[in-house]
Amino acid sequence: MALDAQGANTTDRAGLNGQAPRCEHIDQLPTVEPGLPECKECLALGRAWARLLVCLTCGWVACSDDARGGHSRTHYEETDHPVVATLASPSTWRWCYVHRRTV
């Protein structure tokens, strides 16, 4: 049995030829417009952020885990909205908090 850094069984998640299975959360995402390009929580605390992420469920914009606040993760923990994307364009990077991987 193979384990990831958090001790979860990766064998259960593995796809054909060792590829990760498709994230079903991607198929459930509505079309959203991102909010303003700022982290409101960091602004209120007078902090700078490293990178902004947008929630692909509701459009909420917050700082990434690279910032001191990690407010996008906090948003996921409060709402269970699973997938975020970077606001930097033209990036196609997306992260699923449920699967703890890029999707």
Report pLDDT digits (tens) over 31-70.
Answer: 999 999 999 999 999 998 889 999 999 999 999 988 888 9
Residue 5 has pLDDT above 50, yes or no: no
State the DSSP string of 2-55: -B-TTS-BSTTT--GGGPPPP-HHHHTPPP-----SS-HHHHHHT---S-EEEE
Question: How far apart are the C-alpha atoms of 2 and 9, rounded to whole Å?
Answer: 6
For residue 103 the two structure tokens come to: 């999707």
How confident is residue 20, by pLDDT bands cut at 50, 70 and 90? low
Cα distance between residue 51 and residue 30, in whole Å = 23
Residue 1 confidence (pLDDT) above 80: no
**Mean pLDDT of the region 17-38:** 83
Average pLDDT, the chain: 83
The pLDDT, as a whole number, for residue 103 is 87
Domains, in order of start, for the chain: 29-102 (3.30.40.10)
